[in-house]
Amino acid sequence: MLFRFLTLVNLLLVMNPLIAQEKIFLHQNWQFKNSTEKIWKKATVPGLLHSDLLDHKIILDPFYGQNENELQQFGKDNWDYKTVFEADEALLSNRKIRLGFEGLDTYAKVYLNDHLILEADNMHRRWEVDCKAFLKLGKNQLLVKFQSPFNYLEEKYGNNFRVLPASNDPSPKKESAYVRKAPFQFGWDWAPRIVTAGIWRPVYLEVHNNTYLKGQYFSTQKIEKDKATVTARFELGFIDNKNSDLQIEIYDAASDQLLASRKINSEADLNFTFEIQNPKLWWSNGLGEAHLYDVEIRLLRNNHLLDKKNQKFGIRTIELVQEKDRIGTSYFFRLNGKDFFIKGANYIPQDILLNRVTEDQKRKLVQDAQNANMNMLRVWGGGIYESDSFYDLCDEHGILVWQDFMFACGSYPADDDFIHNVVSEVEDVAKRIGNHPCLALFCGNNEVEVAWFNWDWQGQYDMSEEDSAKIWNDQVKLFNDTIPETLFKVLPGVNYVHTSPLSNWGKLENFNHSSMHYWGVWHGADDFSGFEKYIGRFNSEYGFQSFPEMSTIKKFAPDEQLSLDSEVMKHHQKSYVGNERIREFAVQYFAEPKNFEDFVYLSQLTQAYGIQTAVLAHRIKKGHCMGSIYWQLNDCWPCPSWSSIDYYDNKKALYYWVKKAYEPILPVLKKEDDYFKLYLLNDDFNENALEVSLTVKDFSGKLQWVKEYSLITKENANEVLANFSKERFSNDLFAEIEISIKGEKQSSYIYTFAEPKELALQDPGLSYRVEKIKDSLQMTITAKSFAKSVFVSSNEVGLQYSDNFFDLAPGSSKTIIIKNANDDRRFEIKSLFDCLEVLFCLAD
Ligand code: BMA
């Protein structure tokens, strides 16, 4: 079959000399074995060792119970992967044949027909090598021998190994600092330790018969009223020395209109500018359309087409503005000349077994971010540089990306080998993803600098002054010199900061400067009032943990472990702070949980309450503060964590509450000293003529008073609509704020006037109606009296609710759409007054 496929491809190549290159994926016939054993077993490529072990039932589900403990040896062993593929004459007749790996995890020796043709030592980069000389007619064997990072380091350093700080790596030697492999796989405060190996991204042969297009980069130089100046840069791959008489032409792919053409006679000609008339700009979510240009690039010699490629790009300028101002030091983004507020989340890899993440899962998550009114994701530095498709999705959905380089919470060596490795990694990553309009910022690392100055590593790791100076100089060399110098060579002028945060939360003055990870809540002793007191200029991390819902917990814990302090629940909690902190806060803000299920529900409300408090405080202080990126969007396994969407794609209360808090135009009623202030938070750049009504009722529905306002909003400016003395509100009242345009209701919001625990809630008398409409369920829930935080859940994971964890005014109904529900799913509806309100099963 494979043979036939290759033959066909090569026939095409022979018959059509215009096709200069072709990729042939080598994903068939793979086998693997422990390198000390003899028997080969079937393997999946692309894939990872632990997935293969799972497929063969050699290991149990690493997420269940405490199974993680049982599989540590597999990451310490060495593993071999091999395949056999056929090469025919047509293939071998190609002038140039390259073997490429889009990802090898991590220390790998690659043998083609027993010739060592590649030695890899970095999971984060692509590898390509000429292999024509080693291919033969007929069967060819490709063998990849993976050495575990531990064995590799042992062999390299022996007794001279020097432990470097790596706060989340539980191993005493903290090897992860030396290995260019996703840091979180060595364990993190939300991740198990699964040290994988394998051919984790595609592997292919690529053939070339002519000079070819190897890379193409477009960046916006200038945007004027009716034209944009775009810089195009190209990289060519060569077969021979005939590099003259070339021509590059750029066409609009849809209209086939020629946009630019250039004669190429030297390296310098590969970099040129051209203009696009009446450009359509790329905007982030909320500011406008994320328009993408699709161009076809043709490479010609004497009018003969040598190669062609399609490439998308956006016309946009983005600056990170870091200037001294009257407060301190600013940190905000300017997109196409507009200064705007960033609303987003920190993104981590979607599965610790990275090969399991599907394209659908990626699309879904980026769409979820867009639907939650986010305009930025931070691809955090302890994971991976994402796949190309992830950045494509961000381009399409107007989600800006803050891209960390993959260094987090540790110190790193800076010897020649390591620096050389990092240079190759940075070059490769910048070339691979640098073209995307979504890319707003590259950041050297996560928390390497704050950790150095605040976490007492010098004491913990017993460093002499000399050691300490050396280690610190190494960090400066890496993040202030090597990485930016390399990055700017590939992407001149791109935004770069050497670390996040630039300012630490320890001192009040620091909140006037730059980026901030505020961890006084959770890692410090602050309660949620800290979120209102301590507001950085740009909050790139802050968060609070919760438990995933019961359907997810039951996937990893047997019934007898369903308690907060059971062994399994403790095992899945990877933060040193522990599960008890979640309970303390739930009791402080909501209620003493009646049982474990009740605790799980309250944990989510507590988290949502805290983070919503933070987001609103950040937005109210727009100007001082220009960004809010909470920790963390998603999970890589099922566990209690800071996430807003759990591993099985159940959205937590946090997701729905943040989605509201991130709305572009949002009325907020907030207690400040002796007053309740009615704010209109406004991130919209248009002028809107709005009517705002505020209706106050008691929990049984009796009307107290009403106020109405009309206004025309100002571009991107918050306003205070009213101040009310606090006596006008009590713990048995709620307000419904409606926004209308020309009498037509656009949105409505409910606010209560005391902390949830203080509310004088009464039995809401919930009832429901369910209808099946096509493949979705439509559930209408009605409340007799005020219902707080109504939560619909099922006994299965992954259901998609159009809304959840919402309040209902007395006598009102809300209809939600539930997707992915089978007829035999059981549902529960609960509210804060009473858990387990209604139990039903559609099949009953
Ligand atoms: C942040 C992150 C992670 C960590 C999180 C929660 O600082 O950078 O290192 O998982 O805190 O502790």
pLDDT tens digit sequence for 446-492: 999 999 999 999 999 999 999 999 999 999 999 999 999 999 999 99
- Choice among 49-63, 673-687, 769-783 with the minimum mean pLDDT: 769-783
Q: For the whole model, what pTM was predicted?
A: 0.96
Judge whether residue 733 has pLDDT over 60: yes
Contacts of 473 (CB under 8 A, 6+ apart): 414
Ligand 1 atom closest to residue 522's alpha carbon, by position in its atom list = 12
Q: What is the pLDDT of residue 843?
A: 47
Q: Residue 19: pLDDT above 70? A: no
Residue closest to 58 by CA, chosen among 47, 42, 46 = 42
Pocket test for ligand 1, best of 176, 184, 188, 189 (most atoms within 8 A of CB): 189
Task: Tell how far the Cα of 819 is from the centroid of ligand 1, in angstroms.
Answer: 32
Owner of token pair 């007619």: 137
pLDDT band (50, 70, 90) for residue 240: confident
Cα-flanking dihedrals φ and ψ of residue 430, to 5°? -65, -40
Q: Is 56 helix (H, G, I), strand (E, B) or coil?
A: coil
The angle at the Cα of 805, spanning 522 to 377, to the nearest 5 degrees, equals 55
User: Is the minimum distance from the CB of 517 to ligand 1 under 6 angstroms?
Assistant: yes
Q: Which atom of ligand 1 is nearest to the CA of 642?
A: 6
Is residue 250 within 8 A of residue 261, CB to CB? The reply is yes
Ligand 1 within 6 A of 542 CB?
A: no
Q: What is the mean pLDDT of residues 763-783?
A: 91
Which atom of ligand 1 approaches the CA of 188 most closely? 10
Q: Which segments of 621-691 does DSSP mark as H helices, in order? A: 653-661
Q: Is the CB of 446 under 6 A from ligand 1?
A: yes
For residue 22, what pLDDT is reported? 81
Q: What is the pLDDT of residue 244?
A: 78
Share of the chain above pLDDT 90, in %: 92
Distance 652 CA to ligand 1 centre (A): 19
Is the pLDDT score of 564 beyond 90?
Answer: yes
In this structure, the number of other CB atoms found within 10 A of the CB of residue 808 comes to: 22
Average pLDDT over residues 71-97: 97
By three-state DSSP, how is residue 660 classified?
helix
User: Can you give the pLDDT at residue 1?
Assistant: 35
Amino acid identity of residue 17, one-letter, is P
Using alpha carbons, select from 520, 538, 537 the residue that is nearest to residue 529. Answer: 520
* 409 backbone φψ class: left, alpha, beta (φ>0; ψ -120 to 50): left
Ligand 1 geometric centre to CA of 190 (Å): 9
Per-residue pLDDT reduced to its tens digit, 660-706: 999 999 999 999 989 999 999 999 999 999 999 999 999 999 999 99
β-strand 186-188 against 191-193: which pairing, if any?
antiparallel
Question: At 239, is the pLDDT very low, low, confident or very high (cuts 50, 70, 90)?
Answer: confident
Name which of 456, 554, 538, 543 is nearest 497 in CA terms: 538
**Of the candidates 228, 395, 387, 231, the residue with the CA atom closest to the CA atom of residue 312:** 395
- Cα of 633 vs centre of ligand 1, distance in Å, is 12
Give the pLDDT band (50/70/90) at residue 579. very high
Q: Are 158 and 544 in contact (CB under 8 A)?
A: no
Say whether 504 sits in a helix, a strand or coil: coil
**In this structure, are strands 733-741 and 719-725 parallel, antiparallel, or unpaired?**
unpaired
Asked if pLDDT for residue 10 goes beyond 50, the answer is no
* CA–CA gap between residue 355 and residue 199 (Å, rounded): 9
Residue identifier of the C-alpha nearest atom 10 of ligand 1: 189
C-alpha 346 – ligand 1 centre gap (Å): 10
Contact 591, 761 (CB under 8 A): no
Residue 256, C-beta contacts closer than 8 angstroms, at least 6 positions apart: 296
